[in-house]
């Protein structure tokens, strides 16, 4: 359980706001791992061992685990249990349903699996989101402006006064605050960060899309960083699949270190 100040302290201590996405695909991990009892967990374990001093968060994408059935859920639980307690954990599950269902989702990820946070889709409105916010010392990371091409289909819809993603940001401030709510904002639209910061100036933003999807870390920081940093920038494929042989963990560390060094420079301007 990590509160906002503890997360800020970790960022200052490690000079990093790197989140590593554990989007672990059985078809992409090194072949030699397939001989062990739990290849997914063994891969994650070695990635964590190699990078835990360079990042402040890990974000398993739940789809990669639930696609494997019960064994996948077991690998995910073992992974969460293995992550050090001072590193923020994000269940990238994108849940959100009617109240009773959301409460069960929240209980599953917060209590049963002990994640610090979960990504939530806001489309169904307040009563689909607030059950997640009822769990003390846990975080909701609300989808606001995503980095995928299809984001243009709905998120920029306007009624003439505000875009839909702006409505999400403004409305959600009635449900929680910057101690319990974060937002997903894609790195591929860096200039939108300045507009977003006028609405949620003090909130943390989870930023996918740097690296493989073409987003620029420098641009994201230019428009989106606040006095406390306020960013968790995610990299998945660019780190965990930096190499596909026996040296995959060493390659992951090298890739993560390169990002962390750039982050340290950017943080030096505010902290």
Give mean pLDDT in consecutive 10-residue pieces for the chain, a chain of 271 residues.
Answer: 94 98 96 96 98 98 98 98 97 95 97 98 96 96 92 89 94 97 91 94 93 78 95 95 92 97 91 71
Question: Do residues 140 and 182 make contact, with C-beta atoms less than 8 angstroms apart?
Answer: yes
Segment 205-209 long-range contacts (CB within 8 Å, at least 24 positions apart): 205/230, 205/231, 205/232, 206/19, 206/59, 206/90, 206/119, 206/141, 206/182, 206/232, 206/234, 207/231, 207/232, 207/233, 207/234, 208/21, 208/146, 208/147, 208/184, 208/234, 208/236, 209/147
Question: Do residues 76 and 62 make contact, with C-beta atoms less than 8 angstroms apart?
Answer: yes
Active-site annotation holds for 94: yes
Distances (CA, A) of 188 to 208, 210, 212, 214: 8, 7, 11, 7
**What pTM, to 2 d.p., does this model score?**
0.96
3-state class (DSSP) for residue 84 = coil
Alpha carbon distance 224, 221 (integer Å): 5
Alpha carbon distance 82, 167 (integer Å): 38
pLDDT, position 159: 85
Using the CB atoms, write b or e for 98-107: b if 16+ within 10 Å: eeeebbebbe
Helix and strand totals (H; E) in the chain: 12, 8
Using the CB atoms, write b or e for 111-128: b if 16+ within 10 Å: eebbbbbbbbebeeeeeb
Report which secondary-structure segment, H or E, holds 14: helix 4-14
Question: Do residues 246 and 30 make contact, with C-beta atoms less than 8 angstroms apart?
Answer: yes
Write down the H helix ranges in 52-140: 62-66, 70-82, 99-106, 126-133
Rg of the chain, C-alpha, whole Å: 18
Of these residues, 45, 94, 163, 254, which one is catalytic? 94
How much of the chain is helix, strand and coil, in % rounded to 5?
45, 20, 35
pLDDT, position 244: 83
pLDDT, position 30: 95
């Amino acid at each position: 359980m990590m509160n906002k100040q503890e997360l800020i302290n970790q960022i200052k201590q490690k000079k990093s706001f790197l989140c590593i996405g554990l989007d672990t695909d059985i078809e992409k991990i090194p072949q030699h791992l397939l001989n062990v009892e739990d290849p997914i967990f063994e891969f994650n374990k070695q990635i964590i061992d190699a990078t835990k001093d360079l990042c402040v968060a890990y974000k398993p994408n739940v789809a990669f685990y639930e696609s494997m059935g019960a064994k996948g859920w077991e690998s995910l639980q073992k992974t969460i249990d293995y992550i050090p307690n001072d590193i923020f954990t994000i269940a990238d599950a994108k849940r959100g349903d009617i109240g009773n269902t959301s409460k069960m989702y929240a209980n599953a990820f917060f209590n049963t699996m002990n994640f610090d946070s979960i990504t939530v889709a806001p489309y169904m409105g307040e009563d689909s989101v607030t059950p997640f916010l009822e769990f003390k010392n846990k975080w909701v990371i609300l989808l606001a402006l995503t980095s995928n091409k299809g984001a243009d289909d709905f998120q920029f819809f306007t009624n003439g006064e505000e875009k839909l993603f702006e409505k999400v940001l403004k409305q959600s401030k009635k449900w929680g605050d910057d101690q319990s709510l974060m937002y997903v904002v894609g790195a591929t639209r860096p200039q939108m960060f300045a507009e977003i910061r006028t609405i949620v100036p003090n909130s943390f933003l989870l930023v996918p899309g740097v690296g493989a999807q073409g987003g620029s870390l420098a641009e994201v920081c230019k428009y989106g960083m606040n006095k406390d940093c306020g960013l968790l920038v995610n990299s998945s494929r660019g780190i965990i699949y930096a190499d596909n042989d026996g040296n995959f963990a060493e390659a992951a560390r090298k890739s993560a270190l390169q990002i962390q060094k750039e982050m340290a420079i950017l943080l030096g301007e505010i902290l």
